[in-house]
Amino acid sequence: MQTDTPGYGTGILLVLGATVGWSLAGIFVRFMPGLDGWQINCWRGFWMSVFLLAYLVAVYGRQTIAKFRAIPLPALLTVAGFFSAGSTLYVTSLTLAGTATVSVIGALSPIFAGLLSPRLIQEKPSLASWVAAITAVIGVGIIAWDGFSAGNVVGILLALLVPLSFSFQTIMLRRYRAFDLVPAICVGGFATFFLAGVLGYIFGGHSGGGFQVNIHDVLLLALMGPVQLSVPLAWYARGAKSVPAVTLTLLVMMDVVLNPFWSWLGVGEIPAHAAFIGGFIIISAVLLSIFGDRWLSGRTLEAV
């Protein structure tokens, strides 16, 4: 078991750091214009797990296998499964619905987390958390409004499963926070490698499936795996030990704000006016989620 738990403030910083790493996805993808989502997801998952495995060996040495075995089987299967399912469903949904549509639906993860956490981990979201979650959805909606399209029914249903998978993964990290669940995420990355590789035959139309990637892109993905996934996921898993599920998923919404920022900084793409308005709303929602309860409790004490 893992007994050391970071404080609330440290947990917030870890999750914010994870979100910064995840937000770099767009920059990496721009350097691999010849690859589709299946190829990227396949090899990104592989290198993520290779790096995580190296990290586990460096930290635990001969006890590494014991750390895998120490995780309860339900935790191992659910964390690995929801990670792999979420990654794969995200790519699949993008082939059937527009990016903006998938983004707006993805913003529902705090809502799902709020609905599920009281039943699964007895963690009841506060009023401030609910207001923040709804506010974040509005912010994402404003950013994606111009590109929003209905898409087909299958695409919408698959897109709905993406935030649902992420919410379940987050709740499982909270439920089994006494354990180091990085090994479970490592298993999920290898599962994604095989799943995305095989599905690349069906949906990608490649003779080699998602596995078909040239050496240049494999090397870029070898950098993307640890920088954009391994380190952020390790931080997220650790931050989840001390941060409530709804706040965790809300903090990840900062990815919507940071993605266009990196594109502007890296390749000179100027964000649309709606991105600034929606970004301000999302940041306000995140701050409300972090500080809202303490502010409200402080106001209540003053009133008394």
Give, in order, the Cα–Cα distances in Å from 117 to each of 33, 107, 123, 180: 39, 17, 5, 20
* Residue-wise pLDDT tens digits, 27-70: 888 888 888 889 999 999 999 999 999 999 999 999 999 999 99
Read off the pLDDT band of 147 (50, 70, 90): low
**Does the pLDDT value for residue 206 go beyond 80?**
no
- In this structure, the dihedral spanned by the alpha carbons of residues 18, 22, 23 and 24, taken in order and rounded to 10 degrees, is 110
**Does the pLDDT value for residue 300 go beyond 50?**
no
What pTM does this model have?
A: 0.87
Closest C-alpha among 22, 23, 92, 71 to residue 184: 71
How far apart, in whole angstroms, are the C-alpha atoms of residue 278 and residue 269? 17
Closest C-alpha among 146, 133, 145 to residue 107: 133
